[in-house]
Amino acid sequence: MSPLNIKKSSASHSAYDLHDPNAVLIETHTLAVVVDNESGVLARVIGLFSGRGYNIDSLTVAEVDHAGHRSRITVVTTGTPAVIEQIKAQLARMVPVHAVHDLTVEGPAVQRELALLKVAGKGEARIEALRLAEIFRAHVVDSTLESFVFEMTGTPEKIDSFAELMRPLGLREMARTGVAALSRGV
């Protein structure tokens, strides 16, 4: 397998990147969307984004309230302020959507992502990888004589920079969960 060529903040390049080159103000927003946990709900939300040409930088979803049958979708998206406003209005009017929170404007929020990185190497490179992992508080969750799998959580930017450092040291594969986010305080 060839080494991955991961550009800085690669996570913000989406399959539906339709940036208008003339639009000056592009913002990134993290939205938390509380939905009924019914079949097809994720397809519905993703279909809205692709159908209307909005960007998805990152998307996570899981049931968060089993009894209440609710899931929480965290989606990081970019666009002009008008597009972001449209995205929120379009999401809010969907039948299975209970609430849309814009964590970027509703006050400070914590954002975390989990990543697994496989780094292969021997000798100096291997030692260097381990040292850097310690600095970034990445844990070794699997090791062979020639490879490590690191697990780390942090902001997407932190994961980006760790991956960037691992690249010359033998980064082979990476898996990321996408962002989960909550507002701070109560």
- Binding stretches for another protein (CB under 8 A): 39-40, 43-44, 47, 51, 82, 85-86, 89-90, 92-96, 98
Judged by beta carbon, residue 52 or residue 139, the one nearer another protein is 52
Long-range contact set of residues 142-149: C-beta below 8 Å, sequence gap at least 24 = 146/120, 146/121, 146/122, 147/118, 147/119, 147/120, 147/121, 147/172, 148/118, 148/119, 149/116, 149/117, 149/118, 149/119
Judged by beta carbon, residue 70 or residue 172, the one nearer another protein is 70
CB of 93 to another protein, least distance (A): 5
Judged by beta carbon, residue 70 or residue 112, the one nearer another protein is 70
The amino acid occupying position 159 is: I
CB of 42 to another protein, least distance (A): 11
CB of 74 to another protein, least distance (A): 21
CB of 79 to another protein, least distance (A): 13
Number of C-beta neighbours around residue 62 at 10 A:
11
Q: Are 152 and 117 in contact (CB under 8 A)?
A: yes
CB of 90 to another protein, least distance (A): 5
Q: Can you point out the beta strands (E) in the chain?
A: 27-36, 58-65, 70-79, 97-102, 109-120, 139-143, 147-154, 171-176, 180-183
Q: Are 79 and 45 in contact (CB under 8 A)?
A: no
Judged by beta carbon, residue 6 or residue 34, the one nearer another protein is 34
CB of 13 to another protein, least distance (A): 25
Judged by beta carbon, residue 93 or residue 137, the one nearer another protein is 93
What is the distance, to the nearest Å, from the Cα of residue 140 to the centroid of all Cα atoms in its chain? 21
Q: How far apart are CA 89 and CA 95, in angstroms?
A: 12
Judged by beta carbon, residue 47 or residue 168, the one nearer another protein is 47
